[in-house]
Amino acid sequence: MMTGSERRTAIINQIKNSTVPVSGKALAAQYAVSRQVIVQDIALIRAAGHEIISTNRGYLLNEDASVQRTFKVKHTDAQVEEELYSIVDLGGSVKNVMVNHRVYGHMEAELNITSRRKAAEFLDDIKTGKSSPLKNITSDYHYHVVEADSEETLDMIEAALREKGFLLEQEEWEKKQYYV
């Protein structure tokens, strides 16, 4: 017997993976519950932050399809602009920067750089401030979670970073730690 939480997860996945609206009647039959239970499940799913659209033919999920990948990179301060532009020019969004310091441990800062303009603003903030890039405390080694619309876009970003000599291979422990 499936719990309500498990059923709601299954409903989200079913609606997400469907190319056509999924009817409440079909969901009720599939999960052996009443139509009213499905209506309540949809309300709870919406309350959890999923944008479910009700149509006369059924339910649709209105969420941007995006994928993420963690890249381990190394470059100089002078190459930060080239790195960021390489990512955003290919359709990526630099979500954060992370480092693993031997003394201070894991440190992370949100970036959300989605365009050349935002990259330029970030670079200007670094240049005019009294701070330096986080990568500087780990001899230039750092990580970025990059978000894009598809795996193909992430593959192009990875190839560009590799071609420029910025990309480093991750150790097995890094892959587990950063959920790559």
Q: pLDDT by residue (tens digit) across 123-177?
A: 999 989 877 899 999 999 999 999 998 889 999 999 999 999 999 988 776 666 6
Which parts are annotated binding residues for Ni(2+)? 75, 83, 142, 144
Angle between helices 4-17 and 24-31 (to 10 degrees): 130
Surface-to-core class of residue 82, CB atoms within 10 Å of its CB (0-12 exposed, 13-18 middle, 19+ buried)? middle
Q: Which two tokens stand for residue 4?
A: 């309500």
Is 166 in the same domain as 132? Answer: yes
- The Cα-based distances of 148 to 15, 28, 53 in angstroms read 22, 35, 24
Under the banding of pLDDT at 50, 70 and 90, the label for residue 50 is confident
For residues 72 and 123, the answer to whether their CB atoms sit within 8 Å is no
Average pLDDT of the segment spanning 34-61: 91
Q: Are 41 and 50 in contact, with CB atoms under 8 Å apart? A: no
Residue 83: band (very low, low, confident or very high) from pLDDT cuts 50, 70, 90 = very high
- Predicted model pTM: 0.65
Q: Tally helices (H) and strands (E) across the chain.
A: 7, 7
The domain boundary, picked from 61, 76, 91, lies at 61
51: CATH: 1.10.10.10
Q: Are residues 52 and 126 in the same domain?
A: no
Please name the residue that has the structure tokens 């920067």: 97
Tokens, residue 88: 């955003």
How many domains are there within the chain?
2
Q: Which residues are annotated as a binding site?
A: 75, 83, 142, 144
Rounded-to-integer distance, Cα 90 and Cα 173, Å: 28
Residues in a beta bridge with 98: 108, 143
Give residue 118's pLDDT band: very low, low, confident or very high (50, 70, 90): very high
Q: Which of these three, 29, 46, 61, is where a domain ends?
A: 61
The answer on pLDDT for 110 being more than 90 is: yes
CATH number, domain of 102, equals 3.30.1340.20
Same domain, yes or no, for 17 and 98? Answer: no
Q: Could you tell me if 38 and 123 lie in one domain?
A: no
**Strand (E) positions, the chain?**
52-55, 58-61, 67-74, 93-101, 105-113, 141-148, 167-168
- Residue 67: what pLDDT? 86
